Amino acid sequence: MSETRAERMRTPLAADVIRATAEKHGVCVRPFTMEFGDTETGELRYVPVPCGSTVESVCLPCARKAKALRQAQCREGWHMTEEPVLTAEPPSEDHKELLTYRADLVAAYREVVEHDQAEAEELREEVAGVDAELRQLGMRGRLPALDVPTKRAVKRSTKRRQDAPNLPRRKVAKTTVGREFAGKFRPSMFVTLTCDTYGPVRGDGSPVDPSRYDYRRAARDAVHFAALVDRWWQNLRRVVGWDAQYFATVEPQKRTAPHLHAAIRGAIPHDVIRQVTEATYHQVWWPSHDEIVYTDRLPVWDPDTRAFLDPDTREPLTTWDNAVEEVEDPAHVVTFGRQVHSKGILGGTEEAGRHIGYLTKYLTKSTGEVVEADTARLRDHHDRLHAELSVTPCSPRCAVWLLYGVQPRGAGSKTTPGHCKGRAHRRTTLGLPGRRVLVSRKWSGKTLDDLKADRKAFVTRALAAIGIEKPQPDPTRLVWRKVEPGDPQIPPRPHLVMHAIAERITWKAEYDRALLAAAGPPGEGPETSATQLAA
């Protein structure tokens, strides 16, 4: 009996079946392809590499793995009882040789930059190549710039504002572990900080009176929220007198304003948390951007002067450095709201696990999915906020500055006045920062790559215990190359995903065998002690 068209349309597509099966077995559904070559054997094959997305709607398996890693990272550092070991490796001979070569290149560049631009450009490219090699060897921090600054940066007074409460200041000790109570309890903190109010809102987050809602301040607070949070950590450490460590996430409230959830190692009095929050502010020493100068006729780029000109007078716009020099008062001041929540949490408790889940609750959703508007009133609220964010500069390099008569840093012929690709201006993000997870450097002493390596080492040991040895190829023999889209040699993505599914099923069976072997006979639990009992 033949199927009708309606019946055929109800059957799932092959692509959907492959995707669902990959998700069931934890295989990336949209891998990119790398070419894998062995310089000794000459073997050449194509390997699917996970996309690494953190958003479930893009790739569910990768997002869940990323969330699990973040949860492990949070759990490992929150209630540590010993200081994390962070010892930097000494520079190698390769580091020293490359830096010596870079110093020679910089000296040659400064000799020719005034009279031979072609030679200077070649030297600049060579220096960029050396810098890339140094990064590949492993190096943190910034190297000195090629061009010597023509003028010193403007120094601002560090004196506190008269309208801000004073804070006690102590010398910050290097310790990161909290105080112990009653000889065995070492609680830590869970803190929530919010932005200030911009006007009364309804239960769905939309303003009661949109005409009185301060959208300008809401937009600017969202853009500079990350800087305000950095200032809060600095103030907290100065008040408590030790190097407080944190694992924090930034999420939007219903009104779309950002707020911060933070796990802080060590116990801090609630009054101190509130005191620091009330006294923390961030001043934005930028040129004034209250009134838009150019609306219809926008500034034009002049290739001769390499500057943007006024469309009528043909005079160059004020450069960023000159505009900042003329600033006498901050263009904006960001503060936290009055709502501050703090709670002490003991390690290893059900409450600690629940709060870790709360911290990482929305990490697998994109910002647009979290702030999705389901009513016309809320959509209008988002539209008004987005309209304000569209004319709010997000950085010294933002193209929106041209609307205010200021030439941003790095402006060029490809810069379009009023159009910046920064996340702050997107309708899907509504000003929320790009980094949604903030982790201090001494939180656990481990990066995400370290945590991945720990998991891999654990599985490798478990397999070795039952005689399954996974060969580890010499990395110096391997050559990896990212395959360009449209390469006719690479197999189709569905083929790679199917191969990865079969491989994952094999690995899972081997790991299950290792777990059963470790469990021993029925009734006996696995030996998990690090120290075996003496015979």
pLDDT tens per residue across span 396-419: 999 999 999 999 999 999 999 999
Decide: helix, strand or coil at residue 356. Answer: helix
446, 467, 444, 453: which is closest to 513 by C-alpha? 467
Alpha-carbon separation of residue 309 from 290, 304, 392, 419 (angstroms): 21, 11, 21, 17
In this predicted structure, the answer to whether residue 535 has a pLDDT above a threshold of 60 is no
- List the domain boundaries for the chain: 11-53+455-519, 95-137, 188-439
Instruction: Identify which of 237, 265, 234, 352 has the alpha carbon closest to the alpha carbon of residue 83.
Output: 265
Beta strands in 258-317 (DSSP E): 258-264, 281-284, 300-302, 307-309
Token pair 């072997």 is found at: 517
pLDDT tens per residue, range 114-130: 888 888 889 989 999 99
Are the CB atoms for 246 and 438 separated by under 8 Å?
Answer: yes
Alpha-carbon distance of 49 to 57, in angstroms, equals: 19
How crowded is residue 214: how many other Cβ atoms within 10 Å of its Cβ?
Answer: 15
What is the pLDDT of the chain when averaged over all its residues?
88
Q: Return all residues near 361 (Cβ < 8 A) that are at least 6 apart.
A: none
Residue 381 has pLDDT above 90, yes or no: yes
pLDDT band of residue 522 (cuts 50, 70, 90) is low
pLDDT above 90 as % of the chain = 55
b/e burial code for range 63-79 (CB count within 10 A of at least 16 → b): bebbbebbbbbbbbbbb
Q: Are strands 300-302 and 318-319 parallel, antiparallel or unpaired?
A: unpaired
- Are the C-beta atoms of 385 and 430 separated by less than 8 Å? yes
Write out the two tokens for 136: 């590949």
pLDDT at 202 over 50: yes
State the pLDDT confidence band at 489, using cuts at 50, 70 and 90: confident
Give the integer Cα–Cα distance in Å for 398 and 452. 37
* Residue 180 token pair: 């112990």
Task: Give pLDDT, residue 463.
Answer: 86
Structure confidence by residue, pLDDT tens digits, 257-298: 999 999 999 999 999 999 999 999 999 999 999 999 999 899
508 token code pair? 């899972």
> Per residue, what are the HEC states of 160-193?
CCCCCCCCCCCCCECCCCCCCECCCECCEEEEEE
**pLDDT beyond 90 at 25:** yes
